[in-house]
Amino acid sequence: MTTEDYLNTLNAAQLRAVMHSPDIPLQILAGPGSGKTKVLTCRIAHLISKHSISPQSICAVTFTNKAANEMRERLTKLIGIEQTNQIKLGTFHAICSMFLRKYAKLVGLDSNFTICDADESKNIIKKLLKTYRDELEAHNIVLAEATVISRISKAKAKGVTSDGLRRREKKGISRGEGRTADGSLIEQSFASIIDDVVAEIHVDYAAILRRNNSLDFDDLVLFGKQLFAEHPTVSRWCRHILVDEFQDTNTTQYELMRHIAATSRCVTIVGDPDQSIYGWRSAEVENLARMKRDLPNTQQLFLEQNYRSTASIISCSLAIVSQDKSRTPKTLHTTHPTGPTPVLRSLPYEQNESAFLASEIKRLVAYSGGMLSWGDFVILLRYNSLSRSIESALQKEGIPNRVLNGHKFFERLEVKDILAYLQLLDNPLYVPAFMRAINVPSRGIGEKSVSELLATAQRLGLSPIEVVEKIFDNTIPDIKPAVKRKLTSFVPHIRRSRTSMQKRTRPSDLIRDLLQLLNYEGYLMKTQPDWESRWDNVQELINFASQVEMGTPMLFDSDQPEDDPSEGEEWNSLAEFDQDQLEDDGIVEAQRPRQAKGKEKQTEERYERHILVSASADCSAIRDTPLRLFLQASMLSTGTEVQGNENDTEKVTISTCHAAKGLEWPIVMIPAVEKGTFPSARAEDVHEERRLLYVACTRAKALLYLTHSTARMMSGEVRPKELSEFVITALQNSQTVFTDQIPCLSASDREVLAQVLNRSSPSDAEVARKIAEYNRTTTNPWDGSAVPSSTPWFSSTYNKSAVSSSVEGSCNF
């Protein structure tokens, strides 16, 4: 595509945003479907083709891997695969991970660090929490591990590191502070006890991760921020940073962005405060104002035309979001036709609700004359747990479906088994991988023996693998003969896979060798009843490895950016430094960066240069480690990439509303729009819940369904459920934003669909044929008769008491 071609696809406001000067920081603020992501993509293309900015020095941040893949696809169409692959494109986590591999030493890490997944973090924290159990019990305090995890994560999102906590005096929790005169605890002290325990666990948890040479997801961003903050020279890799979904960045991510942009000050962000839905994970919409303060010449542009949805979907969505009176009103208009009114349906019970949605999907596919297919539908849930009855209803109807971000591929037992061996080969210090691999296949080495092995490793300053190898080789005595015997199959496995790793460069081959070595299929057969599907997953892992081998963009392809500090006259090589002087300055031996307090500035600069040069030199090896690239891709993947084969486009998607952010589908169905679910009973911020429903509704292009069960099974009991107050208020303000009538998909409806979806209308004969076939083969699964056309409570004169009586009536069964 030429420059003119893509510029021609933009409206005037979008064009202004794309052509805005690269040097002036820009905020593009606009509602859903107004082309923010499209503008961001075109702006990247424009920076490269018009302003000759090297693709390597562009850093584009998306919120999810899926969004990154979509942007990569769109960019490939605009500028070709070669240039696209040079752009540093991915989530904050992926981008930090890339830089940290390259410059690990600068922040005191080893470049072969392992990314610790949520499960493993949880295990570590669970164990640490146990050590406080007695003390907490003594104070009658129940502290859930989920609370500890969330508080540590929130601290990191705010930029609090364990170093910061360590500096605080460790007070211990039985010190008797905060007691009343008679010695009983006052309420405040509960909070302070919990604070202290969490802080101490945080410190210990960080120490364990460091010992394992691993980082969790929050650490990736924290260390990334530290890297750019302490070594501004690294930011010369980035001439321009662009961030999508900026309203959902947290403090650490914002700070990271600010430091990346420190050298160039070229920043473009797009966002929509109405779609800020990650406050519960410490996102701060105030970052928009913060950016304007930090970069005072920031300009704002607004987009007002929605290209995604029909006018009736936009009205309905606005009727929901505009209930928040503190929100800044925005204009959002469309040239699309009005289209069918969004459907609001109440059904007696969740099974009826799921069956209704499944049968409606089937009917719409038929009545559209084939214009719609399974892949056009998404069912958006407030919680993943709501998917069970939906999945079974779709299955009953024979409708293929996939759960986006559902059972995570990389969390499966068989996948984790194989990854553990690979992680251990790459990073022998990584204890979670050691603990897993040592008993795969089962060797009967008990928890106690493993703990002893780990303690020995710590005592001798060796990796656990070195310890078992030494025991095996008889260079460490004092191990029980039984344990030693059990190690006889483990050590040779490790050694042979290490040899295989030295010979094989492709992770897919390495996995094949490993499977053979472990006789993994036989092990699954013996131990897992569903071994066949597990074996399929292992094969899928090999496919994923092959994909990574073929497609991983080399993000540091050229050794240096145009003005990399480690290149050119000034930065040529270490030869320019006097080696003795470097040693005198303590530079050559230095492993960790440190503040050169009190040192000559010149020395500080030389130190920095040295580290940068040596880190870059190391990087040539890192770049060529396909195993590491594969492990990184696995750990940062949400799993959908793995199972995201072509067939998935022909499946109904089930997703949480959160995971659907930034995406779009022709037909969106949102079940369980009920009090306690929307807003969630657990939510702290009701406005954020409303915005979440708004985000969900605005994913729809052509048809939108909201449904509600008047009773639902909860904690083993059938409980009455009321319609969400968000919908009740929308109806009270304007009854016409919803209808209880399902769209009949008349010829005029089909015309609208064709126009909005940019598809051709089927012929009347084709429609008639599909409908006849549907009628012949389908009976409505939930009542054995025709699809219901209306429910009693929703009448043209909406009245709230009708809803309540219907709710009460529904409790009888």
The residues that touch ligand ATP, with contacts defined as CB under 6 A, are 9-11, 14, 30, 32-38, 272, 275, 307-308, 662, 664
14 binds, among ligand ATP, Mg ion, none (CB under 5 to 8 A by kind): ligand ATP
Give 342 or 662: the residue with its C-beta nearer to Mg ion: 662
Could you give the residue ranges of the DSSP H alpha helices within 552-637? 568-571, 579-584, 601-623, 626-636
- Nearest of 276, 295, 296 to residue 286 by alpha carbon: 276
Give 245 or 641: the residue with its C-beta nearer to ligand ATP: 245
β-pairing, 717-720 vs 700-714, is antiparallel
Give residue 339's region: left, alpha or beta (phi > 0; psi -120 to 50): left
The count of residues interacting with Mg ion (CB under 5 A) is: 3
Torsion of Cα atoms, 660 then 664 then 670 then 673, to 10°: 70
Cβ-Cβ contacts under 8 Å for 302 (sequence gap 6 or more): 13, 28, 29, 30, 330
Rounded distance between C-alpha atoms, residue 698 and residue 355, angstroms: 24
Say if residues 94 and 636 touch (Cβ distance below 8 Å): yes
DSSP for 451-492? HHHHHHHHHHT--HHHHHHHHHTTSS----HHHHHHTTTHHH
551 is an annotated ligand-binding site residue = no
Q: 3-class secondary structure for 111-177?
A: CCCEECCHHHHHHHHHHHHHCCHHHHHHCCCCCCHHHHHHHHHHHHHCCCCHHHHHHCCCCCCCCCC
Give 14 or 253: the residue with its C-beta nearer to ligand ATP: 14
Give 30 or 555: the residue with its C-beta nearer to ligand ATP: 30
33 binds, among ligand ATP, Mg ion, none (CB under 5 to 8 A by kind): ligand ATP
Residue showing the smallest CB distance to ligand ATP in the complex: 35
- Nearest of 494, 517, 552 to residue 502 by alpha carbon: 494
11 binds, among Mg ion, ligand ATP, none (CB under 5 to 8 A by kind): ligand ATP
Say if residues 309 and 700 touch (Cβ distance below 8 Å): yes
| Residues in 662-681 that interact with Mg ion by CB under 5 A | 662
Tell me the closest approach of the beta carbon of residue 378 to Mg ion, in angstroms: 16
Give 692 or 711: the residue with its C-beta nearer to ligand ATP: 692
Q: Does 34 bind Mg ion (CB under 5 A)?
A: no
Tell me the closest approach of the beta carbon of residue 242 to ligand ATP, in angstroms: 13
Tell me the closest approach of the beta carbon of residue 295 to ligand ATP, in angstroms: 22
Give 34 or 634: the residue with its C-beta nearer to ligand ATP: 34
Tell me the closest approach of the beta carbon of residue 192 to ligand ATP, in angstroms: 42
636 binds, among ligand ATP, Mg ion, none (CB under 5 to 8 A by kind): none
Give 124 or 660: the residue with its C-beta nearer to Mg ion: 660
Give 64 or 616: the residue with its C-beta nearer to Mg ion: 64
Give 12 or 681: the residue with its C-beta nearer to ligand ATP: 12
Name the phi and psi angles at 556, rounded to 5: -120, 50
Torsion of Cα atoms, 155 then 159 then 161 then 163, to 10°: -130
Tell me the closest approach of the beta carbon of residue 14 to ligand ATP, in angstroms: 6
The dihedral through the CA atoms of 405, 406, 409, 413 has a sign that is: positive
Give 13 or 619: the residue with its C-beta nearer to ligand ATP: 13
35 is an annotated ligand-binding site residue = yes
Q: Does 626 bind Mg ion (CB under 5 A)?
A: no
Torsion of Cα atoms, 593 then 597 then 602 then 607, to 10°: -10
Report the run of H or E that residue 240 belongs to, with start and end.
strand 240-243
38 binds, among ligand ATP, Mg ion, none (CB under 5 to 8 A by kind): ligand ATP
Residue among 14, 27, 34, 37 that touches Mg ion (CB under 5 A): 37
9 binds, among Mg ion, ligand ATP, none (CB under 5 to 8 A by kind): ligand ATP
Question: Interacting stretch for Mg ion, rule CB under 5 A, among 470-478, 562-570, 661-669, 695-703?
Answer: 661-669
Give 432 or 662: the residue with its C-beta nearer to Mg ion: 662
Tell me the closest approach of the beta carbon of residue 41 to ligand ATP, in angstroms: 8
Tell me the closest approach of the beta carbon of residue 32 to ligand ATP, in angstroms: 4
37 is an annotated ligand-binding site residue = yes
Rounded distance between C-alpha atoms, residue 390 and residue 396, angstroms: 10
35 binds, among ligand ATP, Mg ion, none (CB under 5 to 8 A by kind): ligand ATP
Any idea what the Cα angle at residue 49 is, between residues 45 and 55, rounded to 5°?
A: 65
Give 233 or 275: the residue with its C-beta nearer to ligand ATP: 275
Could you give the residue ranges of the DSSP H alpha helices within 717-777? 725-733, 747-757, 764-777
Tell me the closest approach of the beta carbon of residue 382 to Mg ion, in angstroms: 21
Q: Does 25 bind Mg ion (CB under 5 A)?
A: no
Rounded distance between C-alpha atoms, residue 497 and residue 518, angstroms: 10
Q: Is 368 exposed, middle or buried (0-12, 13-18, 19+ CB in 10 A)?
A: buried
Give 63 or 472: the residue with its C-beta nearer to Mg ion: 63
33 is an annotated ligand-binding site residue = yes
Q: Would you call 586 helix, strand, or coil by DSSP?
A: coil
Give residue 786's Cα distance to chain centre: 41
Tell me the closest approach of the beta carbon of residue 39 to ligand ATP, in angstroms: 7
10 binds, among ligand ATP, Mg ion, none (CB under 5 to 8 A by kind): ligand ATP
Any idea what the Cα angle at residue 451 is, between residues 445 and 454, rounded to 5°?
A: 110
308 binds, among Mg ion, ligand ATP, none (CB under 5 to 8 A by kind): ligand ATP
Tell me the closest approach of the beta carbon of residue 5 to ligand ATP, in angstroms: 13
Q: Does 35 bind Mg ion (CB under 5 A)?
A: no
616 binds, among Mg ion, ligand ATP, none (CB under 5 to 8 A by kind): none
Tell me the closest approach of the beta carbon of residue 341 to ligand ATP, in angstroms: 21
Residue showing the smallest CB distance to Mg ion in the complex: 37
Say if residues 399 and 521 touch (Cβ distance below 8 Å): no
194 binds, among Mg ion, ligand ATP, none (CB under 5 to 8 A by kind): none
When computed from its CA atoms, the radius of gyration of the chain, rounded to whole angstroms, is 29
Q: Which tokens is 556 given?
A: 């540091």
Tell me the closest approach of the beta carbon of residue 292 to ligand ATP, in angstroms: 21
Tell me the closest approach of the beta carbon of residue 274 to ligand ATP, in angstroms: 9
Question: Interacting stretch for Mg ion, rule CB under 5 A, among 46-54, 627-635, 659-667, 753-761?
Answer: 659-667
Say if residues 153 and 218 touch (Cβ distance below 8 Å): yes
Rounded distance between C-alpha atoms, residue 219 and residue 156, angstroms: 7
Extract the annotated binding site: 30-37
Extract the annotated binding site for ATP: 30-37
Q: Can you give the binding site for Mg ion, defined by CB under 5 A? A: 36-37, 662
